[in-house]
């Protein structure tokens, strides 16, 4: 679970709006639904002595409850962001949980911190409520098993998302802290990005350890590997964006700008070149070709 600041991709199916926020479901959510339903159905059949159909129905019900928990987690981000004037483009539920898409970055470290921690805080409250329900319900019942699994899933989501590495919520909180101390948002992003890579490596190591001990279900193995890869890629993207953001202020826009020279349609290039102060038409043509299609990275100062 994370929140992103980027142009909206409008993926998946739009289900509607909740508190005015567009809610979408990515196609990858179908895979998550199948995997979790199958895993939980097997567990329910063993512990509750259910038939195949009953196990799958219970598994599907757990998926719905789990997605509800993810949605509330993302709403924590979205509503907190709106409270501080940040527009929310939508919430998307996908294979690895979900993300909240915002139209701009937080204006200050304080807002960045509050928006980042809102999601894990919601998951922690849901987990605490599910733990209380687990303790209150009689053991061996469907309600007890259901509450126990919701408690585990929400506590895991709260703890894992609080780890201090991007693109996790805890990484954004760390970025806010470094930003507040150094007055440099990009440095905070880069620090949290490198720690995010460490979290990705640790996740991969955990996958290997659980696999060697045969403590990981076959269907859970590819999901955990996907989590580790996604964390690594997200952390790397954060590091790259921080470096680009640090370089952009060094670009001298005044040096790159050219005066606007309106000319009537059909004016010969030789005459345009003379009006613009070029020695001849060839110089004008050469400069136009030189800057046409040049990517921003080519314009940045060398060594910036």
For 148-157, write each residue's pLDDT tens digit: 989 999 999 9
Whether residue 171 is found in the same domain as residue 41? no
User: Does residue 89 have a pLDDT over 90?
Assistant: yes
Domain final residue, candidates 161, 194, 210: 161
Q: Which pLDDT score is estimated for 125?
A: 98
Which domain range does residue 219 map to? 163-250
Under the banding of pLDDT at 50, 70 and 90, the label for residue 270 is confident
Q: Note if the pTM is more than 0.85.
A: no
Whether residue 111 is found in the same domain as residue 239? no
Q: Are strands 88-94 and 21-25 parallel, antiparallel or unpaired?
A: parallel
Q: Which pLDDT score is estimated for 77?
A: 98
Report the number of distinct structural domains present in the chain.
3
Greater confidence, 95 or 119? 119
Whether residue 24 is found in the same domain as residue 89? yes
Domain final residue, candidates 111, 128, 161: 161
Whether residue 231 is found in the same domain as residue 289? no
Q: Which pLDDT score is estimated for 70?
A: 95
Active-site residue, 74 included: yes
Contact partners, residue 94, CB within 8 Å, separation at least 6: 11, 12, 25, 26, 28, 29, 32
Residues 212-261: pLDDT tens digits? 898 877 777 888 899 999 999 999 999 999 999 888 765 555 555 666 66
Residue 192 burial (10 A CB sphere; 0-12, 13-18, 19+)? buried
- Gap between the Cα atoms of 106 and 2, Å rounded: 14
Q: Which of 2, 74, 94, 101 is catalytic?
A: 74
Whether residue 177 is found in the same domain as residue 134? no
Whether residue 173 is found in the same domain as residue 292? no
The region of weakest confidence among 1-10, 28-37, 51-60 is 1-10
Whether residue 118 is found in the same domain as residue 6? yes
- Reported as half-sphere exposure (CB side, CA atoms, 13 A), residue 11 has a value of 16
Whether residue 53 is found in the same domain as residue 106? yes
Q: Nearest CA to 44 among 35, 54, 31?
A: 54
Tell whether 304 is covered by a domain: no
Mean pLDDT of the chain: 86
Contact partners, residue 247, CB within 8 Å, separation at least 6: 300, 301, 304
Whether residue 218 is found in the same domain as residue 69? no
Peptide bond into 146 cis (omega under 30): no
Under the banding of pLDDT at 50, 70 and 90, the label for residue 35 is confident
Q: What is the mean pLDDT of residues 171-191?
A: 97
């Amino acid at each position: 679970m994370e929140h992103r600041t980027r142009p909206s991709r409008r993926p998946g199916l739009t289900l509607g709006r909740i508190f005015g926020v567009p809610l979408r479901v990515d196609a990858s959510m179908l895979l998550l639904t199948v995997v979790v339903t199958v895993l939980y159905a097997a567990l329910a059949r063993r512990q509750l002595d259910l038939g195949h159909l009953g196990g799958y129905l219970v598994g599907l019900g757990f998926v719905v409850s789990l997605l509800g928990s993810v949605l509330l987690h993302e709403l924590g981000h979205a509503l907190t962001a709106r409270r501080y004037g940040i527009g929310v483009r939508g919430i998307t539920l996908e294979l690895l949980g979900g993300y909240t898409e915002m139209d701009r970055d937080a204006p200050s470290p304080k807002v960045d911190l509050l928006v980042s921690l809102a999601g894990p805080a919601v998951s922690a409250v849901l987990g605490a409520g599910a733990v209380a329900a687990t303790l209150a319900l009689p053991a061996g019942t469907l309600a007890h098993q259901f509450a126990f699994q919701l408690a585990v899933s929400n506590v895991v989501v709260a703890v894992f998302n609080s780890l201090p590495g991007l693109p996790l919520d805890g990484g954004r909180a760390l970025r806010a802290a470094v930003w507040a101390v150094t007055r440099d948002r990009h440095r905070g992003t880069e620090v949290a990005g490198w720690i995010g890579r460490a979290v990705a490596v640790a996740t991969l190591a955990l996958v290997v350890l659980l696999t060697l001990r045969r403590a990981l279900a076959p269907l859970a193995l590819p999901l955990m590997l996907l989590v580790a890869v996604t964390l690594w890629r997200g952390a790397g993207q954060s590091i790259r964006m921080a470096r680009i953001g640090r370089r952009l202020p060094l670009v001298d826009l005044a040096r790159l700008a050219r005066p606007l020279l309106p000319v009537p349609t059909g004016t010969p290039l030789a005459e345009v070149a003379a009006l613009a102060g070029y020695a001849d038409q060839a110089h004008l043509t050469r400069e136009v070709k030189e800057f046409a299609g040049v990517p921003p990275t080519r314009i940045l100062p060398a060594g910036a």
